[in-house]
Each structure stands twice: as C-alpha cells, then as structure tokens.
Copies of this chain bind each other. A is one copy, B any other.
Amino acid sequence: MLADVQKALDAFKQRDITRVFLVACGGSSSLMYSSKYVLDRESENIDSYLYSSNEFLHRNPKKLNEKSLVILCSHFGKTPETVEAALFARDKGALTVGLTFDGDSPLAKAVEHVIVYDDRESASYLNESSAIMLELVFGLLAAKEGNGKFMDLISSLEDLRSLIDIEKAKFLPLAQELAKSYKNEKVIYTMGSGANYGIAYWFAICILMEMQWIHSHAIHAGEYFHGPFEVLDKNVPFIVLLGLDETRPLEERSLEFTQNYGERVIVLDAKALNLTTIADSVKGYIAPFALQALLRQFADELAKERNHPLSTRRYMWKVPY
C-alpha cells in the first residue's frame, strides 16, 4: 500500500468523521460509485454522498462541515471544478484527500492529503485509483467502526493484477470478435447495478460517448423495467454486466429479458472469471475492477476496428468550454 494512503488513514484516526463526500467528474467520479456502495452496505454510522464536482459546489450541501471527509479525484489534477471543490471543502473545515496521477498538480496542492496513484499496467493493483478508493473507505471503517475487511481487501488487491492479466488474455479473441461485430453501431447501451453501476457509467460516457462518439446511456438494471426497456428491439445493442455483489439478481433479471427480446447482447459475467484468490468478504466490491479491465480491452479492439483511436477528441482540451 502507498505511504500516501497510510498517511491519509492515520489522519482519519485523528478526526471525528460523520460524513463522507465523494467528489469528482466523469471517469474519476465513476470509480467512486463502488466506494459509495461499500459505505451504504457496511457503515453503521457514517453517511455518504457522491456528487459531480460542480454540482457539489453549487448545491453547497448544508451538512458539509469540519466532521466531513471529502475525497476528490482528478487524473491530471487540473479539473477546475474539482480543484475548486477541494478549496471549498477545506474552507468549510472538512478533511480533504485528493487522488491524482500528478503530485505537482493544482489538486495535489489544494488538498490536505494527496495520494499519487500509479495506474501503469506494470504497477500493483493496490496503487490503482479505483483500488485506493476502497482502501480509503475500508480503512476509515476499520478505524471508526471496527470493520474487519481491510486486510482481506489488501491481500485480495495484491493478487488482482495477475488474475486480471490471465482473464484479459482469455478474453482477447472474444473482444476482437465483438469489436468486429459492433463496429458500425450508432447506439450501444450499458447496464449494471450496485457496485457495478459506476463502470457501466464509465463505459457509456468515457469510452462510448467521449472516445468513440457512439450514443450511449448507462441504464440502471433496477430502472430498466420502468421505462428504458421499451427501446429494446432485436437490433439495439446492450452490454450487460453481471457482478458478484448483492444486487446481482437485478442484473440477471435485466439480462434475461434483454436476451429474450434482443439479439445484440454482450454479457460480461464476473462469475465466469477466475477470482479464487479474492476474499469472499470483498469479492462483490472488487469484481467491477475485473469487469472494467475486460471492458477496456473491448474498447481498445473497438477503437482499432473503427479506425477511431481512443485518444481522438473534437472538443476536449481543444476548444474553450
């Protein structure tokens, strides 16, 4: 585990913390959904909120105060709303922790505790931003409520990279086949629930919309039957995620319906992956990381088939906004 993470956890022990605010934008926000799920499922007393940075600033939650922990994330550490949110939270007396890839970035300077993550594929999964999010919340719950899953989490994350590498190698031929099959689609929906919803959202808005200019929407599997499912026909593509958390029955129900009436369904099922060294106590929370790695591999192949590199943008970092 990174020394930066340990320092933040030490700081948690010194503070009375009654609420956690998870604040970021886009992809950085999406990786916080599973932490929110953990806090809802596991915490006896600590309330939690997840906001897009500019919504957080303007909503100005009245309960944000010196007993609040605000965790922020921005890859390059330059997202203006997120930097401003950090300063705003500090001004309210909250304890601030910022995750970023760049230790010299504005976000790194704005927060009390910066954690510089390392998401190179050669690095331990322990040092990935999404993993650090879980380390922070389970560390908090250990310190404040005696939650005992922290060590299970750490040992599970230590093994995760090698498990994921094996699964990616197995998945590659299917990813290539799916990329060929879906390369001309104009709309692709994603679907998930619980700890998985964040990666469904990430794939929809960061990969499909941002990096491939394909129309998309992350449909919550529990909401599907209350409106969205009416768009389904044989030709409408869906990516359905099946996780290992307690909401899996929602995903299974949505998948069954989609397979009954649709013919363009991609299923990524965490049960089909070898995650045997992941502790049962945290398996549901970690499964999204494995699914995300496969989704990313599919994205790479899709980009190749479409001759549309994932780095292509028409507006982002190019025009004022």
Contacts and interface: CB of A to CB of B under 8 A. Distances in A.
B226 A205 contact: yes
A220 B125 CA distance: 30
Given A25-B222, A187-B215, A261-B315, A58 B246 contact: yes
A241 to B, nearest CB: 14
B230 A215 contact: no
A43 B25 contact: no
A25 B231 contact: no
- Which of A19, A42, A45, A62 has most B Cβ within 10 Å? A62
B205 A227 contact: yes
Interface stretch (A47-55, A108-116, A161-169, A299-307): A47-55
B47 A62 contact: no
A61 B40 contact: yes
A309 interface: no
B37 A227 contact: no
A210 interface: yes
A316 B230 CA distance: 7
B61 A220 contact: no
A302 to B, nearest CB: 15
A152 interface: no
Contacts of A209: 227-228, 230-231
A60 B228 contact: no
A127 interface: no
A63 B37 contact: no
Contacts of A215: 187, 215, 217, 231
A42 B60 CA distance: 10
A69 to B, nearest CB: 14
Interface string A210-224: 110111110010110
Nearest to A193: B55
Given A26-B223, A223-B25, A47 B44 contact: no
A271 interface: no
Nearest to A223: B52
A289 to B, nearest CB: 19
Contacts of A187: 186-187, 215
Interface of A: 19, 25-27, 29, 37, 40-45, 47, 49, 52-55, 58-63, 79, 81, 186-187, 193-194, 204-206, 209-211, 213-217, 220, 222-223, 225-233, 246-247, 249-250, 253, 257, 261, 313-316, 321
Given A42-B62, A47-B63, A187-B187, 6 more contacts: A41-B62, A44-B62, A52-B222, A210-B230, A215-B217, A225-B316
18 contacts: A25-B222, A25-B226, A27-B227, A41-B60, A41-B61, A41-B62, A45-B63, A52-B226, A54-B222, A55-B194, A58-B250, A186-B187, A206-B226, A215-B217, A229-B315, A230-B313, A253-B321, A261-B315
